[in-house]
């Protein structure tokens, strides 16, 4: 069997961002509405700082207004909730993203619930979770990582997955569960597997679409993969440094080289699904702005 297609996350993300920038310019020209994204970070976590900076930069490149709120780690929950309330009420802000995890003295769940569901561009609010679970994918804000992963699946297999079996390894609220809902909405037969699943390799081998989101480096081996399957690797793991190296290399949850000899298409790590996450965040913000202007939001 020929080697699999290496799915190009950079190209896929660029296509989404190009469309976002085009639609944003049209919204400004025709409705006078500039999409606005507010990003809130509490504390000085270096990885979060880098991620927040990349989101702000991408928003500006798309023609959005970017509002960055950097708060000290000792910020109280009440003060953070007050900021969220102000952003909810601000008509210039169409998307609100609070960078997680928050310091231990602040409840992630309380802050997520406080965000206006129609500005919840992360897709974590219980209202958006419910919309997605009810099959209301057009009304819901879908979490950005599974939304991006689903675009990659569609690019290979089309929008109708009738007759195909999908297995999602991982049951997180951020990736595993919403990914399963999107696959169901595309008519796939879906299994959610996890650490307690009996004979996980055998379950994975049934999958025409295999999504790995467990956070365990290279756990899914080549002989777990059905020949011709589409493999979407959401994991990002850093291995221990090799002798003489300052830091270890990044790998996914799938043994990439092994998967490439069996599958039809595989997302690499890095360079795969991760690049789609920020792109779909911009897409959700644009959709919110379009709704605020009384226009039909674009679909991605």
Q: Write out the catalytic residue numbers.
A: 55, 99, 122
Q: Which residues contact 134 (CB under 8 A, 6 or more apart)?
A: none
Cα distance between the two ends of the chain: 33
* Cα–Cα dist 157/164, whole Å: 10
* Cα–Cα dist 117/227, whole Å: 41
Integer CA distances (angstroms), 78 to 38, 74, 95, 267, in order: 18, 11, 21, 41
Integer CA distances (angstroms), 8 to 14, 61, 210, 213, 238, in order: 10, 21, 17, 18, 21
| Cβ contact 183:166 at 8 Å | yes
Side-chain half-sphere of 103: how many Cα atoms within 13 Å?
Answer: 15
Two tokens, residue 13: 């993300």
Q: Which SS3 state, helix, strand or coil, does residue 22 take?
A: helix
Q: Which residues contact 30 (CB under 8 A, 6 or more apart)?
A: none
Q: Which residues contact 233 (CB under 8 A, 6 or more apart)?
A: 212, 220, 252, 253, 254, 256, 259, 266, 267, 268, 269, 272, 273
Q: Which SS3 state, helix, strand or coil, does residue 160 take?
A: coil
Q: Which residues contact 89 (CB under 8 A, 6 or more apart)?
A: none
């Amino acid at each position: 069997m020929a080697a699999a297609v290496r799915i190009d996350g950079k190209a896929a993300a660029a296509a989404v961002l190009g469309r976002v920038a085009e639609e944003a310019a049209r919204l400004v020209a025709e409705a006078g509405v500039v999409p606005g994204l507010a990003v809130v970070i509490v504390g000085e976590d270096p990885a979060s700082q880098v991620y927040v900076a990349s989101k702000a930069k991408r928003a500006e490149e798309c023609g959005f207004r970017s509002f960055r709120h950097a708060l000290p780690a000792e910020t109280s929950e009440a003060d953070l909730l007050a900021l969220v309330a102000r952003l909810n009420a601000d008509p210039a802000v169409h998307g609100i993203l609070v960078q997680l995890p928050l310091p231990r003295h602040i409840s992630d769940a309380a802050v997520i619930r406080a965000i206006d569901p129609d500005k919840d561009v992360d897709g974590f609010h219980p209202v958006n979770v419910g919309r997605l679970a009810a099959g209301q994918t057009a009304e819901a804000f879908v979490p950005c990582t599974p939304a991006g992963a689903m675009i990659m699946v569609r690019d290979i297999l089309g929008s109708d997955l009738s007759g195909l079996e999908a297995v999602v390894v991982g049951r997180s609220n951020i990736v595993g569960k919403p990914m399963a809902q999107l696959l169901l909405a595309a008519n796939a037969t879906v299994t959610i597997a996890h650490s307690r699943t009996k004979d996980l390799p055998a379950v994975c081998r049934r999958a025409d679409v295999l999504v790995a989101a467990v956070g365990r480096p290279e756990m899914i081996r080549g002989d777990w993969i059905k020949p011709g399957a589409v493999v979407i690797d959401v994991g990002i793991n850093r291995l221990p440094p090799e002798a003489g190296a300052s830091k270890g290399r990044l790998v996914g949850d799938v043994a990439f080289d092994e998967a490439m000899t069996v599958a039809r298409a595989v997302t690499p790590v890095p360079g795969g699904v991760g690049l789609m996450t920020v792109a779909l965040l911009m897409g959700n913000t644009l959709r919110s702005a379009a709704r605020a202007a009384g226009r039909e939001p674009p679909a991605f």
